[in-house]
């Protein structure tokens, strides 16, 4: 019955990202339970090496281990998948892994260590991207929920398609030609093996299998990001950084899930300070993440484990809302690089110039409009720039950053 609502041609992908321990896996699993109940074929995929999907669903680990990293159907319309890098290496990385291992081996490392090291950072992430692309191309699932690795790693994951595209365009062809001509010569003068053409062929095949996945990830009608966080300073700061990076990658963030809020019926004075702190951080979060809505979720009385509690968690998060909805359709802001500085553009409808007050602290811009505040964390290149000028044009506020060390005009 919901199929018609979303158009059956569109697969929906949601990434759940955030710091370790905030509740990503639980929230992803809870969401999956809901969408499966709505008759969508749903897969919850885990990219975290500390795989915990099986634990959270309270399933026997063997069930997943036996399935060698392929999706396991655990309920009607609901699959879970924990990638197994060893299996992926055999499936996708054979020639590439073999070459790298031989390289490390030549460097004098023993066989086992060389093989271990030949699993490069990024291979796991690329494997996940290969699955996403395959699932979307073949329409194997209606809903793909990604339980991301802790923040830093999931940011690397979203940068992979762009980096790879660059590598293929700028480096790959040259390297391949270079290796072809040099191989006979190199053999005579060094033991270090140059990659064979099967290595290059394997890279090219992978690249072709990945084609299009970058478009899928930045298409807001398909993919959105939900940042899972807790009402604590340290956690929130990391979430702000993630928020900025996802914005820079032009991925659409459509909700902030503020997990582990102390429920109102906890009245013990011991928790008074916690409660006040949480309330403060919840208010701060509105300033940081506007216009993206915040969904507060209570701390449960115990761990959220098993179908029943996960279903309850989903109800706490979404209430009567459809979890597949795009909860925020606005791009919070974007940065544009200009000749000698950067331009921040953000939508601020219904405000007058005289009501806006801008204040730049080192790596953040505070925009005050009457009693309302909005904080924007600045990217590394923008933070040191001293000169800040703003211009309100129709419903957009444009802020120009120039000057400082990085802003010197090129003569």
Location of structure tokens 């000749």 = 339
**Closest CB to Mg ion among 255 and 367?**
255
Whether residue 165 contacts residue 129, with contact meaning beta carbons closer than 8 Å, is answered with: no
Q: Identify residues 300-339 at the interface with ligand ADP (CB under 6 A).
A: 300, 303-305
**Closest CB to Mg ion among 24 and 226?**
24
Q: CA-based angle 259:263:268, to the nearest 5?
A: 130
**Closest CB to ligand ADP among 17 and 202?**
17
**Closest CB to Mg ion among 28 and 160?**
28
Candidate residues 255, 297, 385, 399; the one interacting with ligand ADP per rule CB under 6 A? 297
94 binds ligand ADP (CB under 6 A): no
Radius of gyration of the chain (CA): 24
Q: Which residues contact 259 (CB under 8 A, 6 or more apart)?
A: 22, 23, 26, 27, 228, 229, 230, 297, 299
Whether residue 222 contacts residue 13, with contact meaning beta carbons closer than 8 Å, is answered with: yes
Tell me the closest approach of the beta carbon of residue 373 to ligand ADP, in angstroms: 28
**Closest CB to ligand ADP among 115 and 125?**
125
**Closest CB to ligand ADP among 52 and 105?**
52
Which residue is at the shortest CB distance from Mg ion? 25
**Closest CB to Mg ion among 24 and 360?**
24
Query: How far apart (Å, rounded) are the C-alpha atoms in residues 260 and 66?
Result: 34
31 binds Mg ion (CB under 5 A): no
Tell me the closest approach of the beta carbon of residue 83 to ligand ADP, in angstroms: 15
**Closest CB to ligand ADP among 218 and 299?**
299
Q: Which stretch binds ligand ADP (CB under 6 A): 78-86, 104-112, 178-186, 298-306?
A: 298-306
- 411 burial class (0-12, 13-18, 19+ CB within 10 angstroms)? exposed
Tell me the closest approach of the beta carbon of residue 306 to Mg ion, in angstroms: 16
278 binds Mg ion (CB under 5 A): no
Site string for Mg ion, 46-85 (x = CB under 5 A): --x---x---------------------------------
58 binds ligand ADP (CB under 6 A): no
CA 138 to chain centre: 23
Query: How far apart (Å, rounded) are the C-alpha atoms in residues 30 and 325?
Result: 15
Structure tokens at 56: 């959270």
Whether residue 42 contacts residue 173, with contact meaning beta carbons closer than 8 Å, is answered with: no
DSSP 165-205: HHIIIIIIHHHHHHHHHHHHHHHHH-SSPPPPHHHHHHHHH
Tell me the closest approach of the beta carbon of residue 23 to ligand ADP, in angstroms: 4
Tell me the closest approach of the beta carbon of residue 391 to ligand ADP, in angstroms: 41
Structure tokens at 253: 């963030």
Tell me the closest approach of the beta carbon of residue 24 to Mg ion, in angstroms: 5
Residue 23 binding partner per list Mg ion, ligand ADP, none, with a CB distance cut-off of 5 to 8 Å that depends on partner kind: ligand ADP
Query: How far apart (Å, rounded) are the C-alpha atoms in residues 48 and 147?
Result: 7
223 binds ligand ADP (CB under 6 A): no
Query: How far apart (Å, rounded) are the C-alpha atoms in residues 291 and 156?
Result: 25
Beta bridge partners of 335: 344
Tell me the closest approach of the beta carbon of residue 255 to Mg ion, in angstroms: 18
Tell me the closest approach of the beta carbon of residue 180 to ligand ADP, in angstroms: 46
Considering CB under 6 A, how many residues would be counted as binding ligand ADP? 17
Query: How far apart (Å, rounded) are the C-alpha atoms in residues 25 and 83?
Result: 14
CA 404 to chain centre: 32
**Closest CB to ligand ADP among 52 and 159?**
52
Site string for ligand ADP, 242-261 (x = CB under 6 A): -----------------xx-
Q: Is the dihedral of CA 167, 168, 171, 176 positive or negative?
A: positive
240 binds ligand ADP (CB under 6 A): no
Residues forming the site for ligand ADP (CB under 6 A): 18, 20-26, 52, 259-260, 297, 299-300, 303-305
């Amino acid at each position: 019955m919901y199929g018609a609502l979303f158009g059956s041609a569109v697969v929906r992908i949601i990434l759940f990202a955030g710091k370790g321990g905030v509740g990503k896996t639980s929230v992803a699993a809870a969401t999956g339970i809901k969408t499966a109940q709505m008759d969508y074929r749903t897969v919850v995929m885990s990219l975290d090496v500390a795989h915990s999907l099986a634990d959270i669903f309270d399933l026997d680990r063997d069930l997943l281990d036996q399935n060698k990293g392929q999706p396991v159907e655990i309920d009607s319309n609901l699959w879970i998948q924990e990638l197994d890098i060893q299996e992926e290496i055999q499936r996708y990385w054979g020639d590439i892994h073999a070459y790298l291992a031989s390289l490390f081996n030549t460097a004098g490392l023993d066989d086992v260590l060389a093989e271990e090291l030949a699993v490069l950072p990024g291979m796991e992430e690329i494997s996940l991207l290969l699955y996403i692309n395959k699932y979307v191309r073949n329409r194997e699932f209606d809903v793909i929920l990604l339980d991301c690795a802790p923040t830093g790693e999931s940011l690397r994951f979203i940068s992979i398609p762009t980096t790879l595209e660059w590598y293929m365009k700028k480096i790959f062809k040259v390297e391949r030609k270079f290796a072809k001509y040099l191989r006979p010569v190199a053999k005579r003068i060094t033991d270090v093996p140059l990659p064979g053409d099967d290595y290059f062929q394997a890279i090219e095949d992978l690249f072709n299998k990945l084609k299009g996945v970058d478009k899928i990830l930045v298409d807001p009608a398909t993919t959105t990001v939900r940042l899972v966080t807790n009402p604590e300073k340290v956690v929130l700061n990391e979430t702000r950084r993630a928020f900025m990076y996802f914005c820079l990658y032009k991925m659409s963030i459509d909700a902030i899930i503020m997990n582990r809020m102390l429920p109102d019926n906890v009245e013990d004075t011991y928790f008074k300070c916690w409660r006040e702190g949480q309330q403060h951080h919840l208010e701060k979060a509105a300033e940081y993440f506007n216009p993206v809505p915040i969904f507060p979720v209570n701390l449960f009385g115990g761990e959220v484990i098993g179908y029943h509690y996960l279903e309850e968690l989903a109800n706490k998060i979404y209430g009567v809302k459809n979890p597949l909805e795009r909860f925020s359709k606005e791009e919070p802001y974007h940065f544009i690089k200009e000749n000698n500085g950067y331009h921040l553009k953000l939508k601020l409808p219904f405000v007058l110039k005289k009501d806006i007050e801008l204040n730049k602290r080192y790596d953040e811009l505070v925009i005050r409009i009457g009693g309302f505040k909005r904080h924007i964390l600045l990217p590394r290149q923008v933070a040191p720039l001293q000169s800040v000028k703003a211009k309100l044009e129709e419903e957009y506020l444009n802020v120009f950053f120039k000057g400082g060390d990085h802003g010197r005009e090129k003569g």
